[in-house]
Amino acid sequence: MMKFAWDNYKQYALGKNELRPLTRNGHIGNMFGGLRGATVVDALDTLYIMELQEEFQEAKDWVESSFDLNVNGEASLFEVNIRYVGGLLAAYYLTGEEVFKSKALELGEKLLPAFNTPTGIPRGNKKKLYLFELKSNKQFSNRTMSLIEKPQGLYPNFLSPVTGNWVQHHVSIGGLGDSFYEYLIKSWLMSDKRDVEAKSMYDNALEAIEKHLVKKSAGGLTYIAEWRGGILDHKMGHLACFSGGMIALGAQHAAKEQAQHYMELAAEITNTCHESYVRSETKLGPEAFRFDSGTEAMATRLSDRYYILRPEVVESYLYLWRLTHDPKYRQWGWEAVQALEKNCRVEAGFSGIRDVYASTPSHDNMQQSFFLAETLKYLYLLFCEDDVLSLEDWVFNTEAHPLPINRTNSSLKTGVQ
């Protein structure tokens, strides 16, 4: 699947940000402010991990010869950081190739002006940004600040980089909020458990989430609702389905009496996300699904029925498999593979679909870069031995780019020969 996705991108869209597989051309878009080749940079580490050596060399050659950083434009700081910077850094730490390090540093320097705000919170980003620190460049160290009091211990999604005040009280573990929570526990792990502030923030946030947002449906499905100024919205987005994996990862480092509870919570949430897949005609999950008016784990609005090759559900399968070795997670992952092959593979790549409940899929003509960076990587790792990018040695950024745990004088084991 990875080779098919890459080969078609290379043939029809090399240098563009994404492949349009139905029309066999490339898409640039405006999210990356003039940067090109998002799929190349996002795919680097997946190609390397899968030992697709020829394809990895093609991608590396493009980065060396054609990746132009002399661009001007308004970009999403968050997306550029997780895809481009994350992809380059992961490729560097996996291979030691200096070209990836130099490109990451050059791009990182272009992002720094976004932090020139009264609070130090970057503009154009609603989530915590984490640029992995290279020892020779202290200017990229993680920046923290004391946030004002949080409503109910929850972090709303919108914060003013000028005043440091919450702009509106919308709390979501899905879109706009997801990576913030994920990076709290992962910042602590990446620091080799030295960043105790991040761990404390994670523990407190998870406690508040469980108290105010975690609910159980009439049919017994556990889900995480959204919160709007004190009113619960009983829906869960596909993006929020990463949280099963996050909670399971955090459970490994919880107090003994809490660890089992959090593992059970992680398994319940992951099961709910699996149900959102199995209750659709295509066996792929919708963008958002609801738990009200008798509806359980299904989209009720036409605008929520699409699937754009997202990775979050299979991401949780990977973490739950690695941490429990319950064979059902591999079975569920294989079901997702079969559903992708049946509904999303077209003649020249993979495409998202507009309605997961339709018996004949309508394709959206877009092979997202994160399909190669995340969805296929997580599925591949689900069927690998545990020492291939071991969770003991590596932390995945929110785009599934592996970064090494920052241990001094330690040798890294990739598990890739």
* CA 248 remoteness from chain centre: 16
Q: 238-262: per-residue pLDDT in tens?
A: 999 999 999 999 999 999 889 999 9
pLDDT at 38: 98
- Pairing type for strands 231-233 and 345-346 reads unpaired
Q: What is the 3-state secondary structure (H, E, C) of the chain?
A: CHHHHHHHHHHHHCCCCEEECCCCEEECCCCECCCCCHHHHHHHHHHHHCCCHHHHHHHHHHHHHHCCCCCCCCECHHHHHHHHHHHHHHHHHHHCCHHHHHHHHHHHHHHHHHHCCCCCCCCCCCCCCCCCCCCCCHHHCCCCCCCCCCHHHCCCCEECCCCCCEEECEECCCCCCHHHHHHHHHHHHHCCCCCHHHHHHHHHHHHHHHHHCEEECCCCCEEECEEECCEEECEEEHHHHHHHHHHHHHHCCCCHHHHHHHHHHHHHHHHHHHHHHHCCCCCCCCCEEECCCCCCCECCCHHHCCECCCCHHHHHHHHHHHHHCCCHHHHHHHHHHHHHHHHCEECCEECCECCCCCCCCCECCCECHHHHHHHHHHHHHHCCCCCCCCCCCEEECCCCCEEECCCCCCCCCCCCC
What is the rounded distance in angstroms from the CA atom of residue 311 to the CA atom of residue 315? 6
Q: What are the backbone dihedrals phi and psi of residue 32, each rounded to the nearest 5 degrees, phi first?
A: -105, 15
Q: Are 378 and 162 in contact (CB under 8 A)?
A: no
Domain 170-367 has CATH 1.50.10.10: yes
Q: Are 269 and 223 in contact (CB under 8 A)?
A: yes
What is the rounded distance in angstroms from the CA atom of residue 280 to the CA atom of residue 302? 13
Which tokens go with 406? 């920052």
Q: 109-145: per-residue pLDDT in tens?
A: 998 888 888 888 888 643 335 344 444 445 555 444 4
The residue among 398, 402, 403 whose CA lies nearest residue 175 is 398
What is the rounded distance in angstroms from the CA atom of residue 337 to the CA atom of residue 284? 10
Question: Pseudo-torsion of CA 280, 281, 282, 288, nearest 10°?
Answer: -30
pLDDT at 133: 43
Q: Is 281 part of the annotated catalytic residue set?
A: no
Which tokens go with 49? 């991990």
pLDDT at 357: 98
Beta bridge pairs of residue 215:
223
pLDDT at 342: 98
Show Cβ contacts of residue 353 under 8 Å, excluding neighbours closer than 6 positions.
Answer: 282, 284, 306, 307, 343, 344, 361, 362, 363, 364
What is the rounded distance in angstroms from the CA atom of residue 296 to the CA atom of residue 313? 17
Q: Is 264 part of the annotated catalytic residue set?
A: no
Q: Is 7 part of the annotated catalytic residue set?
A: no
pLDDT at 139: 52
pLDDT at 417: 54
Which tokens go with 58? 């093609």
398 is in an annotated binding site: yes
The single residue listed with the structure tokens 């190669």 is 372
- At 203, which amino acid appears? D
Among candidate residues 45, 312, 355, 364, the one labeled active-site is 312
* CA 179 remoteness from chain centre: 7
Beta bridge pairs of residue 232:
227
Among candidate residues 45, 79, 203, 399, the one labeled active-site is 79
The single residue listed with the structure tokens 């992951």 is 270
What is the rounded distance in angstroms from the CA atom of residue 59 to the CA atom of residue 334? 28
Q: Are 212 and 276 in contact (CB under 8 A)?
A: no
- Pairing type for strands 226-228 and 231-233 reads antiparallel
- Residues of the chain with pLDDT below 50 are 125-128, 130-137, 142-146, 409
The residue among 183, 176, 145, 174 whose CA lies nearest residue 290 is 174
What is the rounded distance in angstroms from the CA atom of residue 248 to the CA atom of residue 405? 18
Q: Are 311 and 375 in contact (CB under 8 A)?
A: yes
* Number of Cβ within a 10 Å radius of residue 362: 12
Q: Is 292 part of the annotated catalytic residue set?
A: no
- Domain residue spans in the chain? 1-145, 170-367
pLDDT at 176: 86
CA distances, 83 to each of 78, 245, 275 (Å): 9, 20, 29
Among candidate residues 287, 304, 364, 374, the one labeled active-site is 287
Among candidate residues 42, 55, 178, 364, the one labeled active-site is 178
pLDDT at 81: 95
